[in-house]
Amino acid sequence: MILTIRGEESSDIPLELREPIFFLNEERNTFLDYEKNNNELEITQFNFFVGANNSGKSRFMRGLLKLNSYKNHFSEKIHFKELSNYISSIQTQSLEQGKELYPFLKNQVDKKNLIATNIELIENFSNKNNEDLTKQIESLKKEMLSVLSEKVRNEIKKYISLVEQYQKELNFSKEHKISKKNYTPVLRSLLNNVDLEGGRFKEAVEVRYFGAVGEFTEHNDIHTGLELWSHVKDMISSIKNRDIREFEFFLSKFFFGNEKVALVPDTKSRLIHLDFEKQGYRGIHEIGDGIQALIILLFPIFMAEKNEVFFIEEPEMNLHPGFQRIFIETLLNNEFLKQKNLKYFFTTHSNHFLDLTLKNNKVSFFQFKKLEEGKHLIKTKIKPDKEILDELGVNTSSVLLANTSIWVEGPTDRIYLSKFLKLYCEQDKIPYLKEDIDFAFFEYGGNLITHYLFEDHIEFNEEEVQEKINSFALSSKIYLLADNDNANGKSKKGNRERVLSKLSRDKANFLYQNTNVKEIENLLPKKIVKDFMSIILKKEEAVENAQKIPFDRKDYENLGLGDFYRQLFTDNDIDEKNQNKFSAESGTLNNTYKIKLANFVIDSNYTYEDLIKDNENLENIIKSLYKFIKS
């Protein structure tokens, strides 16, 4: 997605974007250099601005916040001016070829029906405009048939293709047109009182950053938390009541063990109270700073209308790393919020946000660095690395450990166990476990487990410590999941399993769990293994035929899924040409399809009952893990 920054003159561009001078990726690329098309910023739905203090990230974000929504817009792939440039080029070519193409182009240029690139068209592009444009394109396609020259017809085809892309861009801009901007400054609190009236923070922020009260909030909003009680009071009896119920459900689900809770604005104290189904009323000051901080951040987002944009300064303030996870995963995954098509810009010093969103294609990171007085560099399309962690001041002592560490062999194990635990909690209506608070994952990489020591009650000699790592120096409470890999009882792995099983029986803070099948994918129920054929096979007919083949869980429990699928397809005449390359030489799924299968499980609407049907082994693993974490 591209944010295009436009201005007829320099005064149209906020001062924050003009001073200091910002450079994109290297010093010679000055931002807002229109001749080089450096007036565009490639963004995603979630945009994190990271960097040290005084690196320019907050100033730059406030500059974006002040942009005139009418003149600046989101587009998807191409620059709008490409079409008119192409028209000029093709007109020249057509003149050289006897003006055969000129009548078509002259009509479009004169009427500006197809190539208008002005902001007014983008701003006011309607369903009717879209229908008219479609009719004109179809008409042009028919007229093209009368052109005798094949070379000219090909040029027209290219032109029409570009116009159709342009139409998509107009539709994209219309669908993502900013409806309102929201700013959450660092200055925020829920604890309103007679000495700190609701508008104080908002007025201070607006005067400081926007020049005067009402300058920004006439059409947009600033959220400091102090005005929350009055917002809830006004909304409870309005059409926003449904949004409030959704927010209350979120609080109940993640913080209060599914106990129903309602937000109640108390007029006398001018504070929010929580009305619990069983506990009764509690003041907002009684529920802890972390939950208060999340309420300040998330309440305006739950109340937002479609296509609003949020600019939030340092959302990690007062949030434990586990609460930071809840915050960002709610924005990423909550179905109610996803329907609103919101966009977000954050400034942050938190390495946890970087870790949580690293592999998500909806997230972009921008690294800010001060080069010298008046000059700042913005690195785009970055992946967090040591340089960024140094900029954020992160070191080993910055990392907080969760109550339980779950040791797994690889990344897909993490995906499965998180999903399994979530479905189990939903099924039994029991309190959710919070990742990075209740548990955190540690990937040990298969046979590398031999390099760790699990007996914390003995003293290791110097030679042994040099060779191996004391696991309980990394975490005091460990759940270790290991694939069975069909290990022979007399093998090194079989012997290691016996040692770990004994330690598990002897130590309350250590639980060793063998999958009892070849690997974690073999724990999946038959329904999922069968459904995944739609990803492995290329043609719908082949998928339908393959999914009719009868098989049982025991047929693949101790066989690599790669070998299982390949053998099943061969035995039932599913042509190899219809199969994607899913199998590894070891007989398992290759890494690409391991990840595809894990994401397939996450993205599908499987229930806990789907998982454990005729699958006692998996049910026992899920329940024992939950019990161990909670113990």
Mind listing the pLDDT tens digit for each residue in 349-405? Answer: 887 777 666 667 788 889 999 999 999 999 988 776 556 666 665 554 444 457 788
**Residue 116 clears pLDDT 70, i.e. is over it:** no
Give the pLDDT confidence score for residue 397 in this predicted structure: 43
Quote the tokens at residue 496: 């290691």
Residue carrying the six token digits 């003041």: 283
Of 394, 389, 321, 313, the closest CA to residue 352 belongs to 321
C-beta atoms surrounding 175 within 10 Å: 12
Rounded CA-CA distance 133/224 in Å is 45
For 359-509, strand residue ranges (E) read 363-372, 375-379, 404-408, 439-443, 452-453, 469-470, 478-482
Q: How far is CA 562 from CA 519, 572, 587, 597, in A?
A: 12, 16, 5, 12
Q: What are phi and psi of 370, to 5 degrees?
A: -80, 120
Rounded CA-CA distance 245/154 in Å is 57
Quote the tokens at residue 569: 């397809």
User: CA 552: distance to chain centroid?
Assistant: 36
Give the pLDDT confidence score for residue 439 in this predicted structure: 87
Q: How far is CA 32 from CA 21, 269, 387, in A?
A: 9, 49, 26
Interacting residues of 237 by C-beta distance below 8 A, sequence separation 6+: none
Residue carrying the six token digits 């548990």: 439
Taking the whole predicted model, whether its pTM rises above 0.75 is answered as no
- Report pLDDT digits (tens) over 438-458: 888 888 765 555 555 555 444
- Report pLDDT digits (tens) over 501-513: 888 888 888 888 9
- Report pLDDT digits (tens) over 460-474: 344 443 334 456 555
Q: Which of 200-209, 377-386, 577-586 has the lowest mean pLDDT?
A: 377-386
Helix (H) or strand (E) holding 621: helix 616-630
State the burial class of residue 109 (Cβ atoms within 10 Å of its Cβ: 0-12, 13-18, 19+): middle
